[in-house]
């Protein structure tokens, strides 16, 4: 087990290194430049080319790409993600102020998804090919087909028109600062994103439950006269959740990417809203820092899921 964890940790570090290297190079070959937007307006009295050269020197962009990469990686090992081109503040400091919002939204979406998907997936499996199963599968297909940002817009419009209520977009508060206002702001984006994720989990859980329910040990449990609840929850569900955990971990990438749109739509001061503004302004250090943190988070979650397999299924052993 320890050797397995060490090997996976080493591979995860290699993955993060490759991701940040590709992002570093991609941002420097894409069209557009922060200097082009800022040079002339910030340094009056100089020609455009002179202003661009001054700004590039100030930001360190006139150095060779390999030297820029070396300085970035050196700072990274010291916990420094660089300074934002726009605010000239450390990226790590700015991300700390926004990371809590994105993490809270992602957790709420997963909670909504699991709360919806698990009971629906179980009921749909044990009532296979009944009218209830058809209705629940139709429900899942509907939320799969509708994008989460459209659901968010629809919820905003419906509540504003019929209930005369809208979330406190311009008065956002942190959870520990004002839990009531925070939940009002988080409710709609968590619901919009959670329903889409829950539909995927529900369909996958249903197929896994159907496969497990046909296994010999489940048939033996039925033959012993055990109650349906005991057979389903104790014997079938635990084994059916093993591949579902992998799907949930992979869906975290979808949560992060979709939250970029949802955070912009609901004006939530999270990482997604932060990186959208950074991309529009060609703020390289911010984009690099966000990608690195997101990649590290996803890799860490996948490692935890692999470790959880041994708890869910004692037959799994790591060489």
Backbone angles phi, psi at 30, to 5 degrees: -80, 150
pLDDT score for 314: 57
Confidence of residue 154 (pLDDT cuts 50, 70, 90): confident
| 64 part of a folded domain | yes
1 or 250, which is more confident?
A: 250
Q: How far apart are CA 251 and CA 312, in angstroms?
A: 20
Percent above pLDDT 70 for the chain: 81
Confidence of residue 23 (pLDDT cuts 50, 70, 90): confident
The CATH number covering residue 263 comes to: 1.10.3720.10
* Number of other CB atoms surrounding residue 248 within 10 Å: 21
Do 184 and 251 lie in a common domain? yes
| Domain of 52, in residue numbers | 2-77
Pair 86, 283: CB distance under 8 Å: yes
Residue by residue, DSSP assigns 143-207 as HHHS-HHHHHHHHHHHIIIII-----STT---TTT-HHHHHHHHHHHHHHHHHHHHHHHHHHHHH
pLDDT score for 101: 86
Residues 6+ apart with CB under 8 A from 242: 309, 312, 313
Residues 95-132: pLDDT tens digits?
887 888 888 888 899 889 989 888 998 888 888 888 98
Do 97 and 39 lie in a common domain? no
pLDDT score for 41: 57
Residues 203-218: pLDDT tens digits?
888 888 888 888 888 8
Do 256 and 126 lie in a common domain? yes
Q: How far apart are CA 243 and CA 306, in angstroms?
A: 10
Domain count, the chain: 2
């Amino acid at each position: 087990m320890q050797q397995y964890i060490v090997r996976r940790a080493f591979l995860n570090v290699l993955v993060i290194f490759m991701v940040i290297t590709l992002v570093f190079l991609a941002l420097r070959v894409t069209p557009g430049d922060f200097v082009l937007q800022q040079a002339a307006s910030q340094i009056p009295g100089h020609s455009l080319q002179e202003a661009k050269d001054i700004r590039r020197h100030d930001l360190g962009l006139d150095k060779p790409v390999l030297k820029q990469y070396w300085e970035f990686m050196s700072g990274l090992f010291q916990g420094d993600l660089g300074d934002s081109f726009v605010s000239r503040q450390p990226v790590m400091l700015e991300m700390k102020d926004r990371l809590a919002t994105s993490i809270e939204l992602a957790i709420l979406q997963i909670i909504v998804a699991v709360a919806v998907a698990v009971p629906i997936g179980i009921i749909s499996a044990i009532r296979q090919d009944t009218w209830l199963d058809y209705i629940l599968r139709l429900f899942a297909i509907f939320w799969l087909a509708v994008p989460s940002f459209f659901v968010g817009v629809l919820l905003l419009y419906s509540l504003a028109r019929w209930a005369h209520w809208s979330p406190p977009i311009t008065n956002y508060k942190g959870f520990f600062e004002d839990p009531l206002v925070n939940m009002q702001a988080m409710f709609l984006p968590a619901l919009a994103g959670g329903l889409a994720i829950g539909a995927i989990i529900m369909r996958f859980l249903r197929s896994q439950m159907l496969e497990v329910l046909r296994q010999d040990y489940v048939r033996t449990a039925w033959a012993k006269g055990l109650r349906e609840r005991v057979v389903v929850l104790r014997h079938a569900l635990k084994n059916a959740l093993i591949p579902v955990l992998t799907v949930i971990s992979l869906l975290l990438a979808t949560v992060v990417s979709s939250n970029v749109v949802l955070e912009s739509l609901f004006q939530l001061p999270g990482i997604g809203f932060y990186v959208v503004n950074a991309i529009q302004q060609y703020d390289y250090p911010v984009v690099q820092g966000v990608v690195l943190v997101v990649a590290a988070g996803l890799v860490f979650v996948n490692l935890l899921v692999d470790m959880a397999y041994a708890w869910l299924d004692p037959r799994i052993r790591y060489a």
